[in-house]
Amino acid sequence: MTEITAADGLCNGLYLSITGAVDMAAWEELGWDTAAFDGYQVGYAMILEDPLAVEDWQMTCFGADADGEGYFCTGVFGSATEGDYSIHGAAYWVLTEEEKAAMAAMEEEEGEYAEGDEVVEEEYAEYYAEEEYYDPEAKAAEALEWLMSGLPMADENMAVYDPASLCEPVFDEYYGEYGTECNVPETATFTGSWFQPKEADSYEGNFRMSGGMTGWAICVDGANATDSTEDPTMFTFEGAAHLTAGAAILAVASLI
């Protein structure tokens, strides 16, 4: 079981697993269309380390270095009521050409500056200030635009979630108040799973992770989603390199 937690520099705990050779017949009996899948399933548990604020959202994003087209995020969104969530789940974000170019440029420049170079940090701070990157309303709009561009892991990916992905509180007329069905679980744990696509040379809107791949993870918080300066946590996927029963574990082989 992959454990990427606050101890590794993330604000929330993320636990990932890959199961090979899932019995698809059982899913077909439940009415699912399994034609696009071969039994390779991803499962996760996301544990919030801090309380979920009203109308805020917390996410953990991760990806495989072998996937040059995008990355996944799991997230939980607070409702207008304190202590309640409105939606949670996982989605895949496709990198734009501009984002790919920016990432390539960052990798090129990585070795040019010493860590903690104050002069460079000051130059970046001045640039961001001039461009008004710290305008709260602009940042919130930018974050929302990014959020809406994600491709949800939903029915077409045979995704299931616990508790319910979309929660609509039910008003109890007898007691004159809403029920507790949308409360954040006592364990602050949200789980989900989806099926990975069949093995192919390229993928669209989803990606097949497997053992041996290196990956990264980073914490994303609300309106600061597009302004994170945290270094990603690096790890290696192990297990489930092939579609075999029992190849169910992803493990962190190295953390930087």
pLDDT tens digit string along 43-71? 999 999 888 889 888 898 999 999 989 99
State which amino acid sits at residue 18. I
CA distance 42 to 31: 20
**Cβ–Cβ < 8 Å for 89, 161:** yes
Q: Per-residue confidence at 94, pLDDT binned at 50, 70, 90?
A: very high
What per-residue confidence (pLDDT) applies to 160? 96
Where do the structural domains in the chain lie, given as residue ranges?
2-236
Identify each DSSP E strand in the chain by its residue range.
Answer: 2-4, 12-19, 41-48, 57-64, 70-78, 85-94, 151-152, 160-162, 171-172, 177-178, 189-195, 214-221, 233-236
Nearest by Cα to 89 from 7, 26, 171, 147 = 147
For residues 141-156, average pLDDT: 89
* Mean predicted lDDT score pLDDT of the chain: 78
CA 51 – CA 38 distance, rounded (Å): 38
| Angle (CA) 23 28 20, round 5° | 25
Query: Is the separation of the CB atoms in 72 and 218 below 8 Å?
Result: no
pLDDT digits (tens, 9 = 90+) for 202-236: 998 999 988 778 888 888 876 555 555 567 888 77
